[in-house]
Amino acid sequence: MLNFQNENLKSEFKDIRLNELLRFIVFGAAAYCEFRYREPLWVTSVNRPEPGIHGLWRAVDCDNDYLQIWQKKDIAEYINGLWIYDPYRMKYQVCLHHTVEGRGGDHFHFQVHPFTIFRRKISDA
């Protein structure tokens, strides 16, 4: 389940400007989190009026204070196992579980790029 810290975040998440693949990926992460750990994901930030990927409607932050670090790492691995952020720049990832100075504790940062693709298994080829 995907929850929102406030109504503004809910409307931003539904906003047509938010990348639709990103919305799909965040719903997928929330479904996995619910299935594995019986916990929802909380959307904590969508658009931010600043230069950067949040300002471009290509990033969403989520959190859940009841999840353990290993569970959060597992969720990030699950998402990064499905999606490639940019096949030309493999050092970047779709889901980061990190701590950013000035933005509270550790949280999930989901991001997409115009080149973001589904990570197919070799056997699917």
CB of 68 to Zn ion, least distance (A): 21
Q: Is residue 109 within the footprint of Zn ion (CB under 5 A)? A: yes
Bridge-partner residues for 63, per DSSP?
Answer: 42
CA gap 64, 117 in Å, rounded:
26
**Of residues 15-74, those binding Zn ion (CB under 5 A):** 59, 61
C-beta nearest to Zn ion: residue:
109
- Shortest Cβ distance from residue 94 to Zn ion (Å)? 12
Total residues interacting with Zn ion, rule: CB under 5 A: 3
* CB atoms closer than 10 angstroms to residue 33: 24
Binding flag, residue 12, Zn ion (CB under 5 A): no
Which residue shows structure tokens 């409307």?
11
Taking the least distance from each CB to Zn ion, the nearer of 59 and 95 is 59
First vs last Cα of the chain: how many Å apart?
A: 32
CA–chain centroid gap for 92, Å, is 13
Binding-site ranges for Zn ion (CB under 5 A): 59, 61, 109
